Amino acid sequence: MPILFKKTKEIRNYIKSLRCENRYTVGFVPTMGYLHEGHRELIRTSKIQNDITIVSIYVNPLQFGEGEDFERYPRDLERDLGICEEEGVNVVFAPLDEEMYPEKPLINIEIKGLTHILEGEFRPGHFSGVCTVVLKLFNIIQPDRAYFGEKDYQQLKVVQRLVKDLSLPVEIVPVKTVREKDGLAFSSRNTYLKPEERESALSLYRSFLLAEKLIKGGNKDANSIKQTIIEFIRKHPHVKKIDYVEITDEDLRPVKEVKEGDRILLAVWVGDTRLIDNWRIGDANL
């Protein structure tokens, strides 16, 4: 008689035993390169939790829309390899385009309620490109754990849901946003900022502190807090456009009344640089 399994966990263990017990656990940090302090934090977390840490460096064309910054996105493999060495990364995967996309993929991946809001509204197709490359990388690397920064909070939620819906055998580990001393969230795109724009770029972080102050002061109305944030950011000289400011629960569902654990998410153009950032309400020590 064949062995009968009805539970995913049990058949997974059986198959693991077929292939002989994993000797090493693999932690995976997918990146687009031009590594900064935020990436280092992902790597360090992986190093603590796994035997082997693999970093991928690949500027994925599929997640850039037409007219976006794919061409000018900063690239420096030598510098990145140096950082990986400093951090004790075991393996770097820097695939060539023809390895990742020998043909243009025909697949389109959507996740209801997650991929068409916020970033998805302003960058149509972005999350389909993210999901495709993440699935490809997971299928190639087959990591036990993968590390994603909260800086791209919506991406984190999309990937978590992807893993759930597709029963992927990987644990997604969120890592807190790392900020510069002045509060600006680390991002490879910060290199686009002109010196005179930096002060305006800080308005994102400062608007979170302002919101926290309002909430501590008793204002729980998401709409009025949103308006205050918009007005605050808009008065900075180099702010060209605000794509969105939203307040949601931790699963990106809009809220009317704000509570601890909710998220403020925003996307703002400072000069020619589009910055995104987000904040967990309750995280400021005021």
What residues line the site for its own copies (CB under 8 A)?
Answer: 1-8, 11-12, 14-15, 18-24, 26, 52, 55, 81, 84-85, 89-96, 99-100, 103, 105-114, 132, 135-136, 139-142, 161-162, 164-169
d(CA 245, CA 243): 7
In the block, which residue shows the tokens 């020619």? 272
- To the nearest whole angstrom, how small is the minimum distance from the Cβ of residue 57 to its own copies? 9
Nearer to its own copies (CB atom), residue 92 or residue 229 = 92
Nearer to its own copies (CB atom), residue 80 or residue 277 = 80
Of 123, 129, 144, 116, the residue nearest 59 (C-alpha): 129
Nearer to its own copies (CB atom), residue 139 or residue 285 = 139
Q: Both ends of the chain: CA-CA distance in Å?
A: 66
Of the residues 36, 39, 116, 238, which is catalytic?
39
- To the nearest whole angstrom, how small is the minimum distance from the Cβ of residue 156 to its own copies? 15
Catalytic-residue membership of 39: yes
With b meaning 16 or more CB within 10 Å and e meaning fewer, what string describes 104-143? eeeeebebeebbebbbbeebebbbbbbbbbbbbbbeebeb
- To the nearest whole angstrom, how small is the minimum distance from the Cβ of residue 141 to its own copies? 7
- To the nearest whole angstrom, how small is the minimum distance from the Cβ of residue 160 to its own copies? 11
Nearer to its own copies (CB atom), residue 72 or residue 164 = 164
Q: How far is CA 48 from CA 28, 52, 151, 208, in A?
A: 12, 10, 21, 31
- Catalytic residue positions, numbered: 39
